[in-house]
Structure 1
């Protein structure tokens, strides 16, 4: 789980064109939170709606490289609102 957070943080730093040590890990921690919620709560799947495009891309990329890919769905808030309307 901590590896996913570190990978998401690194990917987000690339997308934001920032140094990793200068970029907060706030969004990257969602990767670990997804795993925690699925495991501890026993859900079949977990979704995350996030507003930040780069965070969504970084998290989706990292999750797609794990065995958890089929259990998580990460969407951007504006896109969800468009679908609902």
Structure 2
């Protein structure tokens, strides 16, 4: 289940990065007025920052999940049902 979440989240990150690049190309065209260009540029910056943070979190989760089976065997983690 976690591997599906990780793959899906990384796919979203990739799509968002492509959207950012497309938006930057749109900024280079002459079709937007000065206010629209500024607002779009600000949103691109915020989105880029958010994507970076999410990407790091997903990769950290993926590394952590990779260690779980080893940690459970090493430390003898057992579940208790109540």
Q: TM-score over 0.5 for the alignment?
A: no
Q: Please, what TM-score do these two structures have when normalized by structure 2?
A: 0.29
TM-score normalised by structure 1 residue count: 0.29
Report which structure shows greater RCO (CA 8 Å, sep ≥6). Answer: 2
Instruction: Tell me which structure has the larger Cα radius of gyration.
Output: 2
Going by fraction, where is strand more abundant, 1 or 2? 1
